[in-house]
Amino acid sequence: MGRHYYIAGNWKMHKTRTESAELAQALVTELKDGKHEYLVAPSFTNLETVSAIVEGTNIRLGAQNCACEEQGAHTGEVSVLQLKDLGVQTIIIGHSERRHTYKEDDALINKKVKLALKHGFEVILCIGELLEEREAGKVEEVCERQTVKGLEGVSAEDLANVVIAYEPVWAIGTGKTATPQDAEAVHAFVRKVIARLYGNEAAQKLIIQYGGSVKPDNAAQLMAMENIDGALVGGASLKTDTFVPIAKFS
C-alpha cells in the first residue's frame, strides 16, 4: 500500500500574524503525537511567523499559491525563491478559487507546478468540477483534463512530490459535502488516469486528498474510503476545535 493520510489546512485569506501564531502554536501542541502527516498554509504575510513556530515539528509549512516566474517585473506576485527562503515546503496550486475567481487556466497552473517542482517543493495540485459540470455529467472529463494538463511535462520522478486534491467546487465553503461514495468514485477515477500516465505503481503511491466542507463529523467516513488519502480543509482549519478532530481522526 505505502500511502499515508495527509491532512492539510488551507487558511485562505484569514488571520493576522498574531492570530496565525496562536493557531500554529496550538496545533504544534495538539498534533505532536498525531499519527498522520500535517500541513498548514497561511497567507503570504503570515508565512515567516508560522514558519518559526512549525519548524522542526511534524507540521509542514505550505503556501497557497506562487507566481509562474522565478523573479522579475511581476508586481504583486510572490516567487518560489521567496517562499523557499521562508521555509515553505509545499505549494498549493490550482485551487478552485484561483481557477474560477482569478481565472487561472490549466496552462498557467501547469507552469507553476513545473516551477515549484524544479525548486524542490511538494505540490498539492487541486482539481474539481463546478456544479453545472457535475449536472451535465462532465465530472470525469473535467477532472481528467485538469489532471493531465496540470501534470504535463512532469516526470515520473517528480510525481513523487505531487499530491492531488479533489475538490468538487460546489462543496467548497457551501456546507455541502460530496458523499463518501461520490468522492471515492472520483478519487478512484483520478488514480486510473495517473496509472495510464505513469503506471500502476506510481498511481498506487499517489496521495489524493479530498477537499470540500470537510468537518469533524464527516472526516472519518471520507477517510474510510479506499482511495481517499487525506483532506485539504478550508473553514474547519481555522480553529483548533474543528481542525484537530479531523487531523486526529482514526
Determine the residue type at 150: G
Active site residue 69: no
Virtual CA dihedral for 107, 204, 190, 234, nearest 10 degrees?
-80
Question: Is 167 annotated in the active site?
Answer: yes
Please tell me which residue in 37, 97, 104, 167 is annotated as part of the active site: 167
From the list 213, 218, 131, the residue with the least C-alpha distance to 169 is 131
The 3-state secondary structure of 168-182, one letter per residue: CHHHCCCCCCCCHHH
86 C-beta neighbours (distance < 10 Å), count: 16
* Alpha carbon distance 146, 238 (integer Å): 28
Among the options 95, 122, 129, 184, which is catalytic?
A: 95
Catalytic annotation, residues: 95, 167
